[in-house]
Amino acid sequence: SRGGEGLVLPLNGAPVYLTSDKLSGDEILQLFEKASIGNAREFALDVAPCDDNGATALAVGLRSLTNKPVGRVVVELVGFPTNWGLAENLVFFGRLEPATTQVRCIPLTRFSVSPDVSEIQVSAQSGNYRVEGISRELILAQAMPAVMEIKLDGEVTDAEYANAIPISLDKAEQLVGGDPQAWSGREKSSAIFRLVWTPDALYVGGIVKDAGEVQNHAADDELWLGDAVEVYLRPELKGSLFKNAPVSQYGKIIVAPALGNSTRSRVVGGADGTIAGIDAGKIESAIKRTASGYSLEIKIPVSGARLAAGKIWGFDLGAIIYDETGDATRRFQFVWTGKQAWTSPDNFGFLYFGK
C-alpha cells in the first residue's frame, strides 16, 4: 500500500494473483476498473511520406494506447530534411477515443527523392503528457513514367526502361538471409531493377546474376525456398501507419523461374491473397534465362485510383539467389532496404512516382 491509498503492482514480472477475505471477486474487478497505469504511454506516434489525393505529403498519425480518451494533441515536426518544404510544422488533433487512430496529412511544398537526413523527429503534447519520436528511416526509390509501351517478354531493354533509375541489390549489408562470408560477390550473386509506370500499372524489370543453376522446385505456396524475386507493396500509407495495420493493406508478389522461360507467381497478402489498391488477379510476369542468370519483368496493375506523378507507396524489393552450387546452405536473400521486410511493413522503404 502507499499511505493507505491503494496497491502498487509491477507489470513487468511474473503474474500477480490477488485474494481477499473482505472483498468478493466482483468487487476486486470493480476496483481494477478504476485503476490507473503509471508511466504508461497514452498514444503511439508515427510519421511517414505519403500522397494526399495525388499531392506529395506527410502522414502524421496517433493511435490510442489507453482505455480512456486522450484530449487535444499538438504534434510538432522538430527535425526535418532541409531539402523538403513543409506547409506547416504543427498538426492539431482533437479528442482521441480509445482503440482508435487519427491521421492528418501535411502538404509538402518542396520534395526530393533523396532526403538529406534519414529520419524525421517529432514531438507530441497532450496536456502535461509529452512524447518524443522519430519516423521510420527515409529510404526512397523512384519509378519514372514509361516512355513507350512495355512488351512483357522478360527482356529489360534500355529503350523500354530508358529513364528508369536503377535499384541495386549487390551489397553485403543488403543480405538478410545467408552468410555474408560465404557470398561470392556481386559478379556471381546480385540483382538490379528498373521501375517505370503508366496510369494503369507499375512495371518492374530485373536482371539477376546467379552463378548456380537457376531453379525453383518449391511448392507454389513456398516459392521463397528457391530462386525468386519479391516485390513488397503498401500502396495505402495513410490508413496503415502502424505495425498492426490490417494485412490486406500490404503484401508481396513473388515471381519464380519455372521450366524454360516460364514463371510461377504468388501474391501474399490479406486473407485471400489480395493487396489493397492492387488488381492481384491481373498481375503478369515473364522471364528470360541468360548466361549469367535471368532477367524478368512484372506488370502490377492497380485498382481504384490510377497512378499519377507525386504518389508515394510503401515499397521494398528482394531477390533470393542460390549461389553457385544451388545448395540450400548457399541461399542468399537480398532486400533493398537491408531489413527483414515481409512481416514488418514498417521496414519497407518508399516508392515515389516521378514525373
Query: Tens digit of pLDDT for each residue in 292-351?
Result: 999 999 999 999 889 999 999 999 999 998 765 545 555 788 999 998 876 678 889 999
For residue 297, the model assigns a pLDDT of: 97
Q: Which of 301-310 are b and which e, b meaning 16 or more Cβ less than 10 Å from the residue's Cβ?
A: bbbeeebeeb
Task: Answer with the residue of higher pLDDT: 219 or 23.
Answer: 219
Q: Sheet containing 85-86: which strands, arranged edge to edge?
A: 43-52, 55-64, 101-110, 85-86
Looking at the chain, the whole-number percentage of residues with pLDDT higher than 90 is 46
Decide if 324 contacts 184 (C-beta within 8 A). yes
The residue with greater pLDDT, 165 or 220, is 165
d(CA 302, CA 313): 12
CA distances from 81 to 113, 117, 198, 313 (A): 11, 5, 29, 19
Tell me the pLDDT band of 2, cut-offs 50, 70 and 90: very low
Percent of the chain scored above 70 by pLDDT? 83
3-state secondary structure of 24: coil
Judge whether 228 and 169 are in contact, CB under 8 Å. no
Q: How far apart are CA 288 and CA 152, in angstroms?
A: 11
Average pLDDT over residues 239-256: 72
Look up residue 138 and give its three cell numbers.
Answer: 527515409
Given a contact cutoff of 8 angstroms between Cβ atoms, the answer to whether 103 and 60 are in contact is yes
Q: Which of 144, 184, 148, 195 is nearest to 292 (CA)?
A: 184
Strands 189-198 vs 140-145: parallel, antiparallel or unpaired: parallel
| pLDDT tens-digit map of 184-239 | 888 889 999 999 999 999 999 999 998 877 888 888 888 888 899 999 998 887 66
User: Tens of pLDDT along 30-61?
Assistant: 665 554 444 467 888 888 898 888 789 998 98
CA distances from 6 to 1, 35, 36 (A): 5, 9, 11
